[in-house]
Amino acid sequence: MYFTALIDDLAERGWSLQRGVIPTDVTAELAAECRSREVQGALSPAGIGRGDALAVREGIRGDQILWLEPGQSPACDRYLALMDELRVTLNQTLFLGLEEFECHFAFYPPGAFYKTHLDRFRDDDRRAVSVVLYLNEVWEEGDGGELRLHLAGQAPVDVTPLAGTLAVFLSGEVPHEVLPTRRDRLSLTGWFKRRALVGG
């Protein structure tokens, strides 16, 4: 199975790091699109919270984002199709009841970071599985910008944001942060979501 190692990791420990599951040409095209949209000024400062409580707070996170929409570009459509394959596989193997996937480009300029947080909102538990695809073709020791996963009962795991690396983890169970970056840092960040509870 295409996602076998990823599924096994999620089932056993709640997180997985994979390389090679996303075609390199798709990753390169997504990186070019993210960079082009940033140059065009199409990205917006990211906020925290949701709905009326959504607010931009640069002391907590400093990235700029652009949500992906179907038909936005061939590369985006290919990526969304791959994520739908993963959604179906997760449902068939782990019975998670995932109904949709949402994601955005995330651009961190030098000095930007995102303090420790969970991806699941306190008042909305639909986000079940977080997925981050890194788009940086070159990343050297000292560039910063690592994703740090805070894992219960063990040392944190730092993920170098190198192109083609896919980080997947349970949204409500793995606190994480983005360490300050010293160069432009590009990624796609998304979430598989369950159906909302009626009246929730």
In whole angstroms, how large is the CA radius of gyration of the chain? 16
pLDDT digits (tens, 9 = 90+) for 71-120: 999 999 999 999 999 999 999 999 999 999 999 999 999 999 999 999 98
* Residue 46 binned pLDDT confidence (cut-offs 50, 70, 90): confident
User: In the CATH scheme, what architecture does the domain 4-46+60-194 have?
Assistant: Sandwich (2.60)
Degrees, nearest 5: CA angle 108-53-67: 40
Q: How many CA atoms lie within 13 A of 8 on its CB side?
A: 6
For the chain, give every domain's residue range.
4-46+60-194
Question: What is d(CA 176, CA 187) in angstroms, rounded to the nearest whole number?
Answer: 15
DSSP secondary structure string for all residues of 116-130: EE-SSBTTB--EEEE
Instruction: Kindly give, in sequence order, each residue whose CB lies less than 8 Å from that of residue 33, ignoring residues fewer than 6 positions away.
Output: 73, 75, 76, 105
In this structure, which amino acid lies at residue 69? E
- pTM for this one? 0.91
pLDDT digits (tens, 9 = 90+) for 132-158: 999 999 999 999 999 999 999 999 999
